[in-house]
Amino acid sequence: MKEKSASAEERKKMVELQIIKRGIKDKKVLEAMNRVPRHLFVPEEMRDLAYSDEPLPIGEGQTISQPFIVAYMTEALKLSGGEKVLEIGTGSGYQTAILAEIVHEVYTVELLSVLSERAQEILKELGYKNIKFLIGDGSRGWPEYAPYDAILVSAAPATVPRALIEQLKINGRMIIPVGTDFQELVLVTRKKDSWLEERLIGVRFVPLITIH
Ligand code: SAH
């Protein structure tokens, strides 16, 4: 019990100092960040740093994103609650949990089975029933359940993958880091026969691996 309330306290501080102070306003995002126990998604030896203002290693050369970036990307999708969302790069499963708190259904794709399996275990233990997992190459999306209201990608390709744009509903949104040496978060809005791209902030993500 003691540990539980200590982590709730740390989360509250994280949300106030790292998220609200930097301009995130979406109530749904703030509530989700207050609820999800981030410390359960980082390796045990990193637990002390779970609520700090930085990305952390999660094994296999991958990282769990900085809390602010998770909040920023989620807010950019302007979710209202009924959506079906595709996530590429399950990683630790933390961003997956944030999405699952807010929307109706989350479809999440991870290339590395070790990471996907670990995330599945934690997310099931936490009781989420609205998440479907796929192990595979997310640069092709997950066509079986398309189209999606929104797509969140947490690994960076050199250019926006066409397959992902095609799996968005008309007026659907995708937030994705794009670039190699220099990366930016790009917000893509799908239109009927075209799409809009808006460049937001500079970021650093692991590369989206493409399998040929
Ligand atoms: N949102 C995650 C971020 C993990 S880092 C978190 O906060 O924990 C990005 C993840 O994308 C890594 O787990 C990496 O293995 C995965 N990845 C890289 N290329 C991929 C691809 N082509 N398809 C699916 N996942 C991919």
Asked if residue 162 is part of any domain, the answer here is yes
The two tokens of residue 15 are 């949300």
Q: What is the pTM of this model?
A: 0.97
Testing ligand 1's pocket by substitution, the residue of 72, 87, 112, 176 carrying the most ligand atoms inside 8 A of its CB is 112
The two tokens of residue 204 are 């650093």
Asked if residue 115 is part of any domain, the answer here is yes
Active-site amino acid positions? 65
What pLDDT shows up at residue 194? 96
Asked if residue 211 is part of any domain, the answer here is no
Asked if residue 209 is part of any domain, the answer here is no
* Residue of 174, 102, 111 lying closest to 131 (CA atoms): 102
Residues facing residue 207 across a β-bridge: 156
> Half-sphere exposure (CA, 13 Å, Cβ side) for 34?
13
**From the CB of 109, is ligand 1 less than 6 Å away?**
yes
Residue 78 belongs to what domain range? 2-203
* Residue of 166, 175, 169, 29 lying closest to 89 (CA atoms): 175
Chain segment 37-79, per-residue pLDDT in tens: 999 999 999 999 999 999 999 999 999 999 999 999 999 999 9
148-153 and 195-203 beta bridge pairing? unpaired
Asked if residue 8 is part of any domain, the answer here is yes
**From the CB of 32, is ligand 1 less than 6 Å away?**
no
Give the number of the atom of ligand 1 that is nearest the alpha carbon of residue 115: 13
Collapse the DSSP code of 88 into the 3-class scheme (helix H, G, I; strand E, B; otherwise coil) and give the result.
strand
- pLDDT over threshold 90, residue 3: no
Chain segment 86-137, per-residue pLDDT in tens: 999 999 999 999 999 999 999 999 999 999 999 999 999 999 999 999 999 9
Asked if residue 85 is part of any domain, the answer here is yes
| CATH assignment of the domain containing 169 | 3.40.50.150
Asked if residue 11 is part of any domain, the answer here is yes
Asked if residue 92 is part of any domain, the answer here is yes
The domain tally of the chain equals: 1
